[in-house]
Amino acid sequence: MVEEGKKIVEGYEKSVEENDDEGPKGICYCFWGPIHWLKMLAMEMHWSFVFGYVSIYGINQGVGGALARIGTQYYMKDVQKVQPSESQVYSGITSIPWVIKPLWGLLTDVIPIFGYRRKPYFILSGLLGVISMLIIALSGKMHLVFLILALVAQNVAVAVADVTVDACVAQNSITYPSRAADMQSLGALSYSIGGLLGFSVSGVFVHLMGPKGVFGLLSLPAALVSLVGILLLEPKVSNFAYSEVSQKFIDATKAMWTTLKCPDVWRPCLYMYLSFAVSLNINEGLFYWYTDAKDGPSFSQETVGYIFSMGAIGALLGAILYQNVLKEHHLRDMLFWTQLLFGLAGMLDLMLVQRMNLRFGIPDYFFVVIGEAVSQLITRLKWMPLLVLSSKLCPSGIEGTFFALLMSIDNFGGLSSSWGGGLMLHVLGITRTKFHNLWLAILIRNILRVSPLCLLFLVPGGDPNTFVLPTELLSSKDETETQEEPDNIELVSLVNSVDDGR
């Protein structure tokens, strides 16, 4: 199978060299270019790998994440009838599985199930997602505690699938090093396009099916994750020493702690956490105000979905702008301007709540759409250089697990932001029907958004692409290296599986 795959790749590379001039050119490239690119990836790495990657990032996280966000907000507001401050806190609790991503990474790397490192985790995470979503959809009004537990389980399912597919992508990046950037681009584009599609239809589905119906619909992306696990062809690990698992966990923890103690690592990590934590999240308060008929603009479910879809477009434009224009700029300069613009963009929310847009004759919907697109564009521009820096902070041997740790630090910052925002909404007396102090919450949030400018000395200067760790970390031998991974991990089609079974 491997030799046959290599022959296909060699034949494809030869055909590309011979027929390079036959690819789509000119204005036709805008349409045929992406198709030609996907075809190239499918031929080189097998079409079903592209299917699996797009399924996890584009459908499960992109479309599913958008539907889950809108469905959860309306379920909390209309079915559970909780206050916005409580909803803010509960959203933080349900995001905890993303904070402990290194645990899922260690599990998939260190503990094989029935001799497989990836297949079972895809299958089990998909089943967990299906069960948790169907429980919410098919039950009556759930007790709030059980609802939170079900949402936590759903986030565990998505987080485990995310970590597992990242491991597959990392392995394929080694097998096909020239396609590493293409795979990252495919994941980012799939997620952005999936989010755009999901937000566009989320409001319509909430209106037609209700929040519980949306949760039932979310069982489909989760089932797709299990299908990806079924299609995964992975060599079986033989004679695995389960008795050494605890020692491998200890060694990995020691290696991560040694790395974190390095000033070149903990200082930017501290900045990343604080920059997220102090930007208090009050999205639930704004959502309740958006849908309020008395003090707010009383947006419908469909309108709310369209608003967030414009935010997805803004995030996509931000990624494109960074990739093509800003990726070579110095890290501190990028963080300074994006953090400053992030705070200024929040003033659009203040103008909206104070109804200043109506004084200028600007409709609420148009003003909110512009504000959401601008905010998400700046957020993506702020996030991209930190993502590049995070990839440079990972020491040799534990790159995957340590990168998951860095992402969990960012997620913990988001959790702190969510809980801090919920506390502020409660202290200011912002409820389901009272929004008199919402302007003050927005103003405080905007001021705190620019406060990380005082902490820029924590991040290294210069181009983030040229940043390197100290020599002792780069050259240290990995004590946590697990049994050698197979040279090739690919997702095979059902046709090949049936043929092999014969």
Q: Domain spans of the chain? A: 37-233+245-462
* Domain 37-233+245-462 class in CATH: mainly alpha
Q: List Cα–Cα distances, 239 to 39, 59, 167, 247, 326, in angstroms.
A: 39, 36, 22, 17, 49
What does pTM read for this prediction?
A: 0.76
**Do residues 411 and 101 touch, judged by C-beta distance below 8 A?**
yes
CA distance 76 to 90: 9
The neighbouring-strand residues paired with 235 are: none
**Do residues 388 and 327 touch, judged by C-beta distance below 8 A?**
yes
Per-residue pLDDT of 43-89, as tens digits, reads 777 667 778 788 898 899 999 999 999 999 999 998 888 999 999 89
Region 145-174 average pLDDT: 84
The residues near 494 (Cβ < 8 Å, ≥ 6 apart) are 231
What tokens does 132 get?
């948790």
Helix, strand, coil share (%) of the chain residues, nearest 5: 80, 0, 20
Rounded (5°) CA angle 110-114-118: 55
Please check the confidence at residue 396 and state whether its pLDDT lies above 80: no
CA distance 47 to 302: 35
CA distance 179 to 200: 31
For the chain, the average pLDDT equals 79
The neighbouring-strand residues paired with 372 are: none
The neighbouring-strand residues paired with 222 are: none
Determine which of 271-275, 316-320, 489-493 has the lowest per-residue pLDDT on average: 489-493
Comparison of pLDDT for 309 and 176, the residue scoring more? 309
Banded model confidence at residue 103, pLDDT cuts 50, 70, 90 = confident
**Considering the chain, what percentage of its residues have pLDDT values greater than 70?**
77
Per-residue pLDDT of 343-364, as tens digits, reads 999 999 999 999 998 988 899 9
Backbone angles phi, psi at 233, to 5 degrees: -95, 115
Buried b (16+ CB within 10 A) or exposed e, 62-91: bbbbbbbbbbbbbbbbebbebbbbbbbbbb
Per-residue pLDDT of 176-193, as tens digits, reads 666 665 666 677 778 888
pLDDT of residue 351: 93
CA distance 411 to 53: 22
* Distance between start and end Cα atoms, the chain: 15
CA distance 267 to 341: 23
Comparison of pLDDT for 127 and 500, the residue scoring more? 127
Please check the confidence at residue 127 and state whether its pLDDT lies above 90: yes
- What three-state secondary structure class fits 252? helix
pLDDT of residue 30: 56
Buried b (16+ CB within 10 A) or exposed e, 104-123: bbbbbbbbbeeebbbbbbbb
Instruction: Centre a 10 Å sphere on the Cβ of residue 321 and count the other Cβ atoms it contains.
Output: 15
Buried b (16+ CB within 10 A) or exposed e, 445-460: bbebbbebeebbebbb
Comparison of pLDDT for 126 and 477, the residue scoring more? 126
CA distance 494 to 204: 34
Q: Please choose, from the candidates 343, 338, 337, 347, the residue with its C-alpha nearest in 3D space to the C-alpha of residue 370.
A: 347
CA distance 470 to 395: 9
Buried b (16+ CB within 10 A) or exposed e, 2-26: eeeeeeebeeeeeeeeeeeeeeeee
pLDDT of residue 344: 92
Helix orientation angle between 399-427 and 283-290, rounded to the nearest 10 degrees:
50
What tokens does 234 get?
């992975």
Q: List Cα–Cα distances, 286 to 69, 198, 291, 480, in angstroms.
A: 14, 20, 9, 46
Please check the confidence at residue 472 and state whether its pLDDT lies above 60: no
Q: Please choose, from the candidates 126, 153, 156, 122, the residue with its C-alpha nearest in 3D space to the C-alpha of residue 223.
A: 126
The neighbouring-strand residues paired with 113 are: 116
pLDDT of residue 473: 55
Please check the confidence at residue 201 and state whether its pLDDT lies above 60: yes
Q: Which helix (H) or strand (E) holds 295?
A: none
CA distance 380 to 382: 5
Region 189-217 average pLDDT: 89
* DSSP assignment letter at 75: I
